[in-house]
Amino acid sequence: MTPLEKDKKYIWHPFTPLEVEEDPILIESAQGVYLHTTDGRKIIDAISSWWVNLHGHCHPVIAKAIADQASKLEHVIFAGFTHLPAITLAENLLSILPKNQSKIFFSDDGSTAVEVGLKMAMQYWHNQGIKTKTKIIALEGAYHGDTFGAMAVGARDSFNVAFNNYLFEVDFIEFPTDENEAKILSDFRKLASEGNVGVFIFEPLVQGAAGMRMYSPEILDQLISIAHKHNIVCVADEVFTGFGRTGKLFASDYLQNKPDIFALSKGITGGSLPLGATSCSSKIVAMFESTESSKTLYHGHSYTANPIACAAANASFGLLTRKECFAHIERISDQHKIFAKKISTHASVVKVNHLGTILSIELRTEEKTSYENSLRKKIYAHFIERKILIRPLGNVFYLLPPYVISGDELNLIYSEIETFLNAFHCRNNGNSGQKLFLQ
Ligand SMILES: *Cc1c(COP(=O)(O)O)cnc(C)c1O
């Protein structure tokens, strides 16, 4: 059997039907913004490998930190034991998180970081003997991960319909737009004032998986302010938006009112190893400060605070906090802004969203804007053929490159996108001479 035949026989890939026409692409190595295939192609990674990569693939500083740590201390139980990579990382994270954050709990990925955030918030009430604050508010269209608690606070859509009966109840408020601001605030105020809401969870400023939908810091600031007035714990899921993605270190840095709990993952190790972290404020910590077993947060994972992952995260932190890194982020943001303006009036485009290093384009189609939109596979195949990895969310496709992408590389991607938009427009207007899609 060839490696791809073995892959098909033995491996179950995420978010992928078991029967698909296309083989996965076999990657042998990666360097900077490029993925190298075994058949000699060089594909530009325009989405940072599922939103995780910050400094380019196989960054030598991170690779060395991993290698050094692997031969010194690869792993140790994290209950009753500790180690410098974790201590340093906790200190590093707290040095860049909003000042109200005071403690770090480590886990394995974004979903578990969210689970821990939810459990901290729920037990915060339990530990005070308060039994009434059981309601949870989330935003419509949210994505917080694929474990059960994370699914429960996420959109109830085709992704989790098989599990719907098993998900705990959550109140979803409308996604904020310019039009519904007053309604949202009044809905939220009404819910909050009932006195039984304990937790408000949200992806600050950008709902990634929902199609890179963006909303204003002003409205979120107002929601948090109402929540705090009614003693509701605010959980910011910065799994995607953290570590510079939005043009600031955290999306919450755009806010005046700071969330109580942060869930972090994705970019935390620069995209090299899985790691999750949940931080919380001293207000939360205070309700757990006890020797009593009943007040303990009984949560942990075998690989909690894995030293190699922590070492990778510390190396990534070093790169992220250098001046050069933010210069890159600002350059990408400036370039995106100009390109966004240029294509925003294109006949094929409904909407362009831009924040920091994220640029998303909603394509005009007859079908509904959703992940299920049939253009998803076609857009993907079109760009892969041109050696660019983008992974559309239905008819929305986006760029969120590693921060080391050069101006020329970005321009090349923009130019391919413009060609695509023009061809797409021609095709939609009956010009059959334009052979746009492969199939
Ligand atoms: C990706 C993501 C998650 C889940 O993270 P995993 O590491 O995939 O479990 C949670 N929240 C947000 C906002 C995400 O983008």
Q: Given the CA of residue 265, which atom of ligand 1 is nearest to it?
A: 7
Say if residues 272 and 62 touch (Cβ distance below 8 Å).
yes
Q: Tell the burial category of 265 from Cβ atoms under 10 Å away from its Cβ (0-12, 13-18, 19+).
A: buried
Is 3-58+323-438 a domain of CATH 3.40.50.970?
A: no
Q: Tell me if 262 CB under 6 Å of ligand 1.
A: no
Q: What's this model's pTM, rounded to 2 decimal places?
A: 0.96
Q: CA 85 to CA 65: how far, in whole Å?
A: 10
Question: What residue has token string 């130019």?
Answer: 415
Q: Is the CB of 145 under 6 A from ligand 1?
A: yes
Ligand 1, atom 15, lies closest to the CA of 240
Q: Are strands 171-173 and 101-107 parallel, antiparallel or unpaired?
A: unpaired
**Ligand 1 within 6 A of 78 CB?**
no
C-alpha 423 chain-centroid distance: 31
CA 251 and chain centroid, separation: 11
What integer best gives the mean pLDDT of the chain? 96
Closest CA to 267 of 238, 293, 288, 291: 238
CATH of domain 62-320: 3.40.640.10
Q: Establish whether residue 222 lines the binding site of ligand 1, counting it when its CB lies within 6 angstroms of any ligand atom.
A: no
Record the tokens describing residue 436, joined without a space. Answer: 């746009």
- Residue 359 and residue 355: Cα distance in Å, rounded? 7
Nearest CA to ligand 1 atom 5: 110
Ligand 1 atom at minimum distance from 207 CA: 13
Is the CB of residue 110 below 6 angstroms from any atom belonging to ligand 1?
yes
362 lines ligand 1 (CB under 6 A): no
DSSP classification of residue 411? H
201 CA → ligand 1 middle, Å: 13
Question: Which tokens belong to 322?
Answer: 């250098």
One-letter amino acid at 33 equals: V
**Do 336 and 399 meet the contact criterion of CB atoms below 8 Å apart?**
yes
Angstrom distance (rounded) from CA 203 to CA 251: 9
Query: Does the Cβ of 239 fall within 6 Å of ligand 1?
Result: yes
Mutating to test ligand 1, I would choose from 147, 239, 264 the residue with most ligand atoms within 8 A of its C-beta, which is 239
Instruction: Please give the backbone phi and psi of residue 339, each rounded to the nearest 5 degrees, phi first.
Output: -65, -40
pLDDT given at position 137: 98
**Mean pLDDT within 393-408:** 97
**pLDDT score for 20:** 85
Q: Whose CA is nearest to atom 6 of ligand 1?
A: 110
Q: What are phi and psi of 103, to 5 degrees?
A: -150, 150
End-to-end CA distance of the chain: 28
Q: Coil, strand, or helix at residue 91?
A: helix
Asked if residue 215 has pLDDT above 80, the reply is yes
* Helices 217-229 + 181-193 axis angle, to 10: 20
Q: Give the confidence band of 367 by pLDDT, cuts at 50, 70, 90.
A: confident
Ligand 1 geometric centre to CA of 63 (Å): 24
Longest dimension (CA), the chain: 74
Give dist(CA 246, CA 22) in Å, integer: 33
Q: Give the start-to-end residue ranges of the domains of the chain.
A: 3-58+323-438, 62-320
% of the chain with per-residue pLDDT over 70: 98
Q: 109 in ligand 1 pocket by Cβ < 6 Å?
A: yes
**Beta-sheet pairing, 388-389 with 42-45:** parallel
Per-residue model confidence as pLDDT tens digits over 88-132: 999 999 999 999 999 999 999 999 999 999 999 999 999 999 999
pLDDT confidence of residue 436: 60
**pLDDT above 90 for 424:** no
Residue that is written with structure tokens 């007859």 in the block: 366
Which has the higher per-residue pLDDT, 373 or 345? 345
Whose Cα sits closest to atom 7 in ligand 1? 110
